[in-house]
Structure 1
Amino acid sequence: MKWKCKLCVHSSDTRRKLLEHYRLKHSYFSKVTPLPCVFEACICTFASFNALKIHLSRSHQHKGSAGIEVQGGVSLFTCSVCKFNQPFSEETLFSHLRGHLKNHETVPCPFKNCSYTTNVYSSFNAHKSRTHGSALDFSDNVVSTEKVAAPATADFDEEHSLGQPEELSEDVPSHSEDGICETSFWEAQLHQKLASLFLKMQSILHVSERACQDIRATGKGQDLSSAKRRKTYIERHYPVVMPVQYVLDTGHTTVYVPILEMIQEIFKHTDIIDLIKETKNSEKGHFKSHKDGLYYQENDLLSSSELTLPLILYLDDLEIANPLGTSRKIHKLCSVYWVFADLPQKYRSALHVIQLAALCKVTDVQKYGYQNTLGPLFKDLCILEKDGLYIEHLGCTVRGTIFCVVADNLAAHSLAGFVQCFRAGYVCRFCKATHNQIQSLDVFEGEFSPRSKLTHDRDVQDVVQGKLSSQCGVKGDCILRNTLQYFHPTTGFPPDALHDLLEGIVPVELALCIDRMIRLKYFSLDSLNQKIESFSYKGTDATDKPKPISKTFANKKNIGGNGHENSTLLRLLPLIIGDTVPEGDGAWTILMDLKEIVELVLCPIFDEETIQYLQSKILDHRQMLQEVFPDFSLLPKHHFIEHYPHLIRCFGPLVHLWTMRFEGKHRFFKRVVHDAQNFKNVLKTLATRHQYMIAYHLSAQGFLKPHQQTSSVSSVLVSQLPDVAKQDIKQKTDSNIIYATSRMSIDGTLYEVGMFVSVGQEGGLPLFSKVENILIVNNNVTFLCNDYKSFYLEHLRSFELLPGNIAVHSILELNDNLPLCAYNVSGKLLLSPKRFVLPVRK
């Protein structure tokens, strides 16, 4: 049989030769593009070549009790305590026996001719280590051989075992056809790997130039022997688009990464263009992406039948020095990133897919304006829109433009030409509401005049002609409007749910309502903080665990915290203190309504019914807030979220256009500055390091992450699975053995045994299922689950779960691809969703 490489077109006659091919050609890039298992039916991937070898030894090397290969069959492990029966591996055997020992059940030693028994975990381990060491001679009644069909295309009868040496001369030609020695070929391969090593150390691992010089290549390969030579070699042999530095004035510069060259390099080295071409609009009445929004469909360029390149621009200030130190604000930078709007969201969220456009100092932006500091970027965007860009992969020219600019409110108003004061006057870029009006009028009453292209252009004209310093909150024209024909500030700046909700309204209302409930003596601040700290957070909740609330929160009128922490606290607060608050309490109702609003806004898909529901919840929340706290002044952000229902129809789901993932990109630049400890020409240093990092990813075998990833699988007998799983598997394969795993990453989302997924609905409520095992059949993932009935608890705005029947579900059956954790609270199993679950319509 032929063993085919999953990363390139190479094929080998034996597994040993394919492994050698992996080691020579692909192993170095495994941190970027994980190495896949050589067996076609196995979807495991690994971060190192050694991990791959260990996996092959454990999962694909079935031997008899004496360590001899089993021909035409597989070794089975049978437990003498509970008659558990599964394909044999040492890990499976001892993991199962230790499970009995943890329950203090008596377990006999599994090795041949040994009569030792014990029910003590530590004694069993000590006996195994002292008496049997690394022996593999197991009792016949523990490990036996059975003739079964192996997983499809998985060859368990490999001629050579993994630990045995094999001659590789057949795979390594010593001479070319004309008799010339091929040594130079292997030297070139080694040279390329050394260059990649230095590139990775500098751009991915952030190793200093001095450290790289200490471990530089010696002897042959002198063009890598110094920092200057390595720089020359990398820029000549890797897809590096170098940043260009422009001088604004003496001592004032801006750095720009040519966006047109960057687009061409990405299309040349990746298959992104194919993914962009595959994206389609959703069915009418559904909003799944920006393409379903009104603004995209009204754009004459983007809505045309021809292939176009809509881009999302991101603008934000970045503090690279200690924000509390003496250098505060001195090294504050304005960063501009961009990403392909039509790239599916699951790929767009990868940080190396988000590209750098420009870096400049905030003080220079304030002094010289966006026109001068970002002029080269605007010029290239104008070329892309008017003339287009030739794409070699397509053999034609493609035009594109900026679909929208993602930014916080301050940056959005600054670039769009609106006033940047939110304490008085006109505070909204979506309508002509004033700060005083938003206290008594809501958006849904229709009292606020919406901004249109026509009225906005008229306001800009009045300001530009010198009639007024500002008109209805407009203080000037947007530079993108002057540059691009198909961009307008009234349709190009979506709201940001991160700053409006998670870092805006949520911490303020949490402080307001918690202070009231403490004064009503439902709980004390100390008891609340004790419960927050002692709560048994699971999964990503443990990563985003909220911090205790400061004792000064009432005076500050804000609990602080970042968006992740505030979201976790608001979502889990009903489980933490819900039983201490009486039903019907006004402050509690405000928080629970706010919890629902956050869940709805973060929903990745909407229909018209869901949008109407969001609108009603926002209105209810406003009325209750003003009723319970009549002296509380609404923030401009309260007004902004009242526009969300309409803006979802215009932009699509707002969670796809928030700043959360873009802000994660800042960490790269902060890390570079922290490791370099050098602020001399810091803009060029940061941009150059970033472009080296992008070149490293582009030169790897895969620019985008695989659809499915796991690092450990085990063989499972189909006969040992529940009947519902047997019936499902029988429709997919004739094999008696399949693979199973406890952890699986699908499109970047991690699924683990013990997590809950939402599958189907009953009586208008989503149904939840607990993942008991993750089965892999013909490279397709199936979840073996325990279905739970759900009951909605209005007071906690959470679901109580009661176990039901065993079932199997595919990834396509899920209402939402985000797995959740359930918590045992006061004897009940409760689940609080992260976002609104819209049932899948069959």
Structure 2
Amino acid sequence: MALFIGYFVDKKWFTLELLNQNLQRFPFRGNDAANRPATAVSKVKLGGQAVQNWWFLRFFPFMVYGLIPNTEDCVWQLVLKLKDIVEFVVSTNLQPSQVAYLEVLIHEYIADRKALFPQPLRPKHHFLTHYAWNILMFGPLIRLWTLRFESKHSYFKRCARYAQNFINITLTLAHRHQMLQAYCFNGQMFPDDVLLDKGTSFHPDLYAVNIQNAVKHLNHDIKQYLVTDEVCVFGTKYQKGQFLIVQIDASERWTFARILLSLVENVEVHFVVRLYTSTFLPDYNIYRISATDDDLNHVVCVKYNDLLDYYPLLSHYKVSGSHFVTLKNKPREPKEA
């Protein structure tokens, strides 16, 4: 990314100062703000840690939206290919056809990168060529990555820093870790699959007609469901206002839907969502979303197991007067109707 940014700056499409200012002013929300990229971008390298650089690439089209005079430029297309590759690599559910496309995309990226920049390729570029094969052999790579180990290691680094005593530090760390484990396992070792916050009995008569029509197909007695604005399913928190990716029919492969309500009955979770019209912008690899008059009444109920991707998009972002959504990872291919 530092090479690409240097290229854009040399072509006077934007300056480093403007890029850093846009990055600093960008209104990140929720967990997106927790991984906010470092505002120290230069031609040499990106500042920050791995997740911050991942987030930088994900939101980079927003930072330079309207500043790219030629979206057909080879280097800009290289940025979009890299964004696509990352979205595939961090996906939790991929079809063989998607893995095949990823392999083609990686080889195109390596060839273009080598042709456009004289800097020699690094070993990580060679490792990248094996990713598609590794996915076929071991499954989604996001389940195998080392970031969780690095997160665990950060706990021990904090303990060592706070202890201020490095005499037999391994014994200190082992003792404190076991104390932490004892605290975490006190009572219930594993949390429930579904946790809801402030759930109340669901009475459809209290809601608008479009919501009443959306929940008519539910199998159980509708009054057995609890309604809530926030529910945690397998460790992922879903809140009112977040966007989900859902399948509607065979002609419309998938679309964005905004959570209005969450309905819970034992371990069964449904989301009452409002569908939004979306337009893919290939020049920036992002989606423009809008709510038409029909969309305001287009409310459906979606089962958790029918989501194309479990990760909720925290919100849409307003750039240059339009609302956009950028993917964190590629959703799985929808089932044919």
After TM superposition, the score normalised by the length of structure 1 is 0.37
Matches within 5 A, 1:142-541: 510-541=1-32
> In the aligned structure 1, how far is the partner of 2:253 from the partner of 2:22?
30
Could you tell me which residue of structure 1 aligns to residue 213 of structure 2?
724
Q: Deviations over 1:770-827 (max 9, x none)?
A: 1112123455322110112332211111122233311111101100100003212223
Name the SS of the counterpart of 2:197 in structure 1. Answer: coil
2:71 pairs with one of 583, 597, 616: 583
Name the SS of the counterpart of 2:62 in structure 1. Answer: helix
Name the SS of the counterpart of 2:75 in structure 1. Answer: helix
Could you tell me which residue of structure 2 aligns to residue 790 of structure 1?
278
The answer as to 2:204 corresponding to 1:710 is: no
The answer as to 2:162 corresponding to 1:675 is: yes
Contact 1:760 1:839 in 2 (8 A): no
> Cα distance 1:570–1:634, how it changes in 2: closer, same or farther (>3 A)?
same
The answer as to 2:326 corresponding to 1:823 is: no
1:621 pairs with one of 109, 114, 126: 109
The answer as to 2:330 corresponding to 1:839 is: no
Q: Kindly indicate whether structure 1 or structure 2 has the higher relative contact order, using CA contacts under 8 Å at least 6 residues apart.
A: 2
Alpha-carbon distance, 1:575 to partner: 1.7
> In the aligned structure 2, how far is the partner of 1:743 from the partner of 1:726?
18
Could you tell me which residue of structure 2 aligns to residue 593 of structure 1?
81
> In the aligned structure 2, how far is the partner of 1:827 from the partner of 1:745?
33
Name the SS of the counterpart of 1:603 in structure 2. Answer: coil
> In the aligned structure 1, how far is the partner of 2:9 from the partner of 2:98?
34
Name the SS of the counterpart of 1:728 in structure 2. Answer: coil
What is the Cα-based RMSD across aligned positions, in Å? Answer: 1.9
Alpha-carbon distance, 1:614 to partner: 0.2
Contact 1:733 1:777 in 2 (8 A): no
Moved over 4 A (4+): 761-765
> Cα distance 1:764–1:714, how it changes in 2: closer, same or farther (>3 A)?
closer
The answer as to 2:46 corresponding to 1:559 is: yes
> In the aligned structure 1, how far is the partner of 2:304 from the partner of 2:283?
32
Contact 1:511 1:558 in 2 (8 A): yes
> Cα distance 1:830–1:695, how it changes in 2: closer, same or farther (>3 A)?
same
Name the SS of the counterpart of 1:637 in structure 2. Answer: helix
Contact 1:772 1:786 in 2 (8 A): yes
> Cα distance 1:741–1:674, how it changes in 2: closer, same or farther (>3 A)?
same
> In the aligned structure 1, how far is the partner of 2:253 from the partner of 2:110?
26
The answer as to 2:305 corresponding to 1:812 is: yes
Contact 2:39 2:47 in 1 (8 A): no
1:753 pairs with one of 240, 247, 272: 240
User: Which is worse superposed, 620-629 or 711-720?
Assistant: 711-720
Please tell me whether Structure 1 or Structure 2 has the larger radius of gyration of its CA atoms.
1
Alpha-carbon distance, 1:765 to partner: 4.4
Q: Deviations over 1:471-506 (max 9, x none)?
A: xxxxxxxxxxxxxxxxxxxxxxxxxxxxxxxxxxxx
Contact 2:38 2:47 in 1 (8 A): no
> In the aligned structure 2, how far is the partner of 1:752 from the partner of 1:529?
31
Contact 2:245 2:255 in 1 (8 A): yes
1:543 pairs with one of 24, 34, 40: 34
Contact 1:732 1:778 in 2 (8 A): no
Q: Deviations over 1:398-431 (max 9, x none)?
A: xxxxxxxxxxxxxxxxxxxxxxxxxxxxxxxxxx
Alignment: residue pair count: 325
Alpha-carbon distance, 1:669 to partner: 1.3
Contact 1:800 1:831 in 2 (8 A): yes
Alpha-carbon distance, 1:648 to partner: 1.4
Alpha-carbon distance, 1:640 to partner: 0.7
* % identity of equivalent residues: 29
Q: Deviations over 1:109-132 (max 9, x none)?
A: xxxxxxxxxxxxxxxxxxxxxxxx
1:568 pairs with one of 51, 55, 59: 55
> Cα distance 1:593–1:560, how it changes in 2: closer, same or farther (>3 A)?
same
Name the SS of the counterpart of 1:816 in structure 2. Answer: coil
Contact 1:531 1:576 in 2 (8 A): yes
> In the aligned structure 1, how far is the partner of 2:269 from the partner of 2:239?
13
The answer as to 2:264 corresponding to 1:776 is: yes
Q: Deviations over 1:697-747 (max 9, x none)?
A: 34x221112111133234443113323234134x32153x85322211111
1:651 pairs with one of 120, 138, 141: 138
> In the aligned structure 1, how far is the partner of 2:150 from the partner of 2:252?
37
Name the SS of the counterpart of 2:310 in structure 1. Answer: strand
Could you tell me which residue of structure 2 aligns to residue 191 of structure 1?
none
| 1:712 maps to amino acid | K
| 1:676 maps to amino acid | A
* Structure 1 unmatched runs, 5+: 1-509
| 1:669 maps to amino acid | F
The answer as to 2:287 corresponding to 1:799 is: yes
> In the aligned structure 1, how far is the partner of 2:122 from the partner of 2:281?
30
> Cα distance 1:841–1:672, how it changes in 2: closer, same or farther (>3 A)?
same
Name the SS of the counterpart of 1:606 in structure 2. Answer: coil
Alpha-carbon distance, 1:763 to partner: 4.6
Contact 1:708 1:744 in 2 (8 A): yes
The answer as to 2:126 corresponding to 1:632 is: no
> In the aligned structure 1, how far is the partner of 2:201 from the partner of 2:189?
31
Could you tell me which residue of structure 2 aligns to residue 405 of structure 1?
none
The answer as to 2:95 corresponding to 1:607 is: yes
> In the aligned structure 1, how far is the partner of 2:184 from the partner of 2:115?
55
The answer as to 2:184 corresponding to 1:661 is: no
Contact 2:253 2:334 in 1 (8 A): no
Q: Deviations over 1:141-161 (max 9, x none)?
A: xxxxxxxxxxxxxxxxxxxxx
After TM superposition, the score normalised by the length of structure 2 is 0.90
Contact 1:786 1:807 in 2 (8 A): yes
Contact 1:724 1:808 in 2 (8 A): no
Alpha-carbon distance, 1:841 to partner: 2.7
> Cα distance 1:549–1:566, how it changes in 2: closer, same or farther (>3 A)?
same
Q: Deviations over 1:173-200 (max 9, x none)?
A: xxxxxxxxxxxxxxxxxxxxxxxxxxxx
Name the SS of the counterpart of 1:727 in structure 2. Answer: coil
Contact 1:710 1:745 in 2 (8 A): yes
Alpha-carbon distance, 1:682 to partner: 0.7
> In the aligned structure 1, how far is the partner of 2:233 from the partner of 2:63?
31
Contact 2:254 2:334 in 1 (8 A): no
Alpha-carbon distance, 1:764 to partner: 6.9
> Cα distance 1:785–1:595, how it changes in 2: closer, same or farther (>3 A)?
same
